[in-house]
């Protein structure tokens, strides 16, 4: 509990109570009494008071519309995010991080041998299908950015960023995450330091650097190193489904060795059940190495949706409260109107008005106020929509589904909230009301 928040909430509640308690008190005192008596209609209700209450209901409904529209847009956007193909199979895969530190790993060759031993030992574990290592996991960022150019192609314009994301991977890494090979081949054990430099690019890189061309066999320059493109892999999400995938080039781990590696183990069973066995195997090879960030890859997907899920949940909660307050406002105003116009309604009933006519009159007024509030709210929602536009994905700011559903929901709520006072009005006893009048 935060003390400042509690004090602020308490002060806001007191200030609101005083403000909305003083207004009707002022209306009932001094010179306002005579004015109110002059404005009183035959039914006993002040015209000015009716207008003020109606204005408050319209404002309340308009605010509810703004909240519901924004919540609806975020819900629709969140649903679209969950439908995006991440480009890899997160199920039955476990990832973890190992940093190879110390004197023995200062040279690249011992590091490469150790990583190969990791893969060999982990493949022997029961239920393990594939093991791979990389410098960059999906949904963990773009990774290192390096200079990039296609050999033989004209240089890009000065305003074009000639960089590409780069990741080192062992031969089985792309298989381990379940990425789709579009063209060419995967890396192999023969792609070592003695072999020609090779690379695999993603679809985004093909769209950016090889539009309408076959990239297989083309030579590319990554920070001064010429590599031959031997494969094309489908795009894999790098940060979230809402962000476009950046052009990426994958290079063999043997040809670009790093010491902070992320390993992926694909299994036929429950991935998290393998964690103790994985730790034991790593300690057997080198007791000084520590394993960190042991995470089922499904959690990476869930984590990428945490922020949009939070924003959507909070705004949906506020929208729900706004809807409840709007319904309570309609109910209160209609109940007060029925009480103030009890004599008028009784006279109507005594003169032959049918209960359904009274019902239609009261519910119709509530729906009229709701319609006005909805129109004001829709305009405000469109005007204020730019503040959440950056949070939307796959949904237009003026989404037909949301802009139709919200007025229907509010209309139904207003109709239901006014039905109970209207039904009570139809059961008034004309004789009692006329005697009391």
The 10s digit of each residue's pLDDT in 189-226 is 999 999 999 999 999 999 999 998 999 999 999 988 99
DSSP 184: E
Residue 435 pLDDT more than 70?
A: no
Rg of the chain (C-alpha set): 34
Torsion of CA 252, 254, 260, 263, to 10 degrees: 60
Residue 406 pLDDT more than 80?
A: yes
Give Cα 116 to chain centroid, integer Å: 40
The Cβ of residue 19 has, within 10 Å, a number of other Cβ atoms equal to 9
The percent of residues in the chain predicted with pLDDT above 70, rounded, is: 92
- 8 Å CB contact between 92 and 266: yes
- As to burial, measured by CB atoms within 10 angstroms (0-12 exposed, 13-18 middle, 19+ buried), residue 124 is exposed
Q: What is the pLDDT of residue 53?
A: 78
Q: In the structure encoding, which two tokens stand for residue 345, read together?
A: 């309604």
Average predicted confidence (pLDDT) for the chain: 87
Mean of the pLDDT values across residues 274-283? 92
The percent of residues in the chain predicted with pLDDT above 90, rounded, is: 48
Look at 86-90, 119-123, 168-172, 238-242 and tell me which has the smallest mean pLDDT. 238-242
Residue 35 pLDDT more than 70?
A: no
Helices 47-82, 306-340: crossing angle, 10 deg rounding: 160
Strands 163-169 and 248-252: parallel
Residue 325 pLDDT more than 80?
A: yes
Q: In the structure encoding, which two tokens stand for residue 247, read together?
A: 């052009």
Q: What is the pLDDT of residue 32?
A: 52
DSSP 389: G
- pLDDT tens digits, one per residue of 139-191: 998 888 999 999 888 777 777 778 999 999 999 999 999 999 999 999 999 99
Q: What is the pLDDT of residue 42?
A: 47
Residue 41 pLDDT more than 50?
A: no
- pLDDT tens digits, one per residue of 216-273: 999 999 988 999 999 999 999 998 888 889 999 999 999 999 999 999 999 988 998 9
The Cβ of residue 51 has, within 10 Å, a number of other Cβ atoms equal to 11
- 8 Å CB contact between 414 and 327: yes
Task: State how far the alpha carbon of 406 is from the alpha carbons of 200, 338, 377, in Å.
Answer: 48, 28, 10
Tokens 């995967």 — which residue?
A: 186
């Amino acid at each position: 509990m935060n003390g400042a928040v509690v004090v602020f909430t308490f002060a806001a509640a007191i200030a609101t109570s005083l403000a909305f308690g003083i207004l009707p008190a002022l209306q009932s005192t001094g010179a306002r009494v005579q004015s109110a008596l002059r404005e009183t209609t035959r039914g006993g209700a002040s015209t000015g008071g009716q207008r003020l209450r109606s204005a408050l209901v319209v404002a309340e409904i308009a605010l509810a519309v703004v909240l519901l529209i924004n919540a609806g847009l975020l819900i629709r956007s969140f649903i679209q995010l969950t439908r995006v193909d991440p480009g890899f199979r997160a199920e039955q895969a476990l990832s973890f991080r190992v940093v190879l530190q110390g004197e023995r790993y200062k040279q690249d060759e011992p590091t490469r041998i150790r990583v190969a031993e990791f893969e060999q030992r982990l493949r022997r574990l029961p239920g393990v299908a594939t093991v791979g290592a990389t410098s960059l996991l999906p949904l963990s960022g773009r990774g290192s950015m390096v200079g990039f150019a296609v050999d033989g192609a004209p240089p890009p314009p000065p305003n074009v960023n000639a960089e590409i994301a780069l990741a080192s991977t062992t031969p089985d890494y792309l298989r381990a995450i379940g990425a789709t090979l579009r063209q060419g081949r995967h890396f192999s054990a023969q792609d070592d330091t003695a072999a020609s430099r090779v690379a695999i690019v993603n679809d985004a890189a093909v769209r950016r650097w090889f539009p309408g061309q076959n990239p297989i066999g083309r030579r590319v320059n990554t920070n001064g190193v010429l590599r031959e493109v031997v494969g094309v892999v489908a795009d894999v999400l790098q940060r979230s489904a809402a962000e476009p995938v950046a052009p990426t080039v994958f290079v063999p781990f043997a040809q670009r060795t790093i010491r902070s590696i992320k390993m992926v183990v694909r299994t036929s069973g429950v991935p998290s059940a393998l964690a103790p066995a994985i730790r034991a195997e790593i300690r057997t090879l080198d007791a000084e190495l520590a394993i960190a960030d042991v995470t089922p890859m499904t959690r990476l997907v869930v984590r990428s949706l945490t922020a949009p899920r939070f924003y959507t949940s909070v705004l949906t909660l506020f929208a729900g409260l706004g809807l409840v307050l709007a319904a309570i406002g309609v109910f209160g105003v209609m109940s007060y109107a029925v009480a103030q116009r009890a004599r008028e309604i009784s006279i109507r009933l005594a003169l032959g008005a049918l209960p359904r006519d009274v019902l239609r009159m009261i519910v119709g007024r509530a729906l009229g106020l709701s319609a006005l509030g909805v129109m004001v709210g829709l305009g405000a929602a469109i005007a204020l929509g730019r503040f959440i536009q950056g949070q939307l994905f796959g949904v237009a700011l003026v989404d037909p589904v949301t802009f139709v559903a919200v007025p229907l929901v509010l209309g139904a709520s207003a109709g239901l909230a006014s039905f109970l006072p209207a039904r009570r009005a139809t059961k008034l006893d004309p004789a009692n009301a006329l005697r009391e009048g």
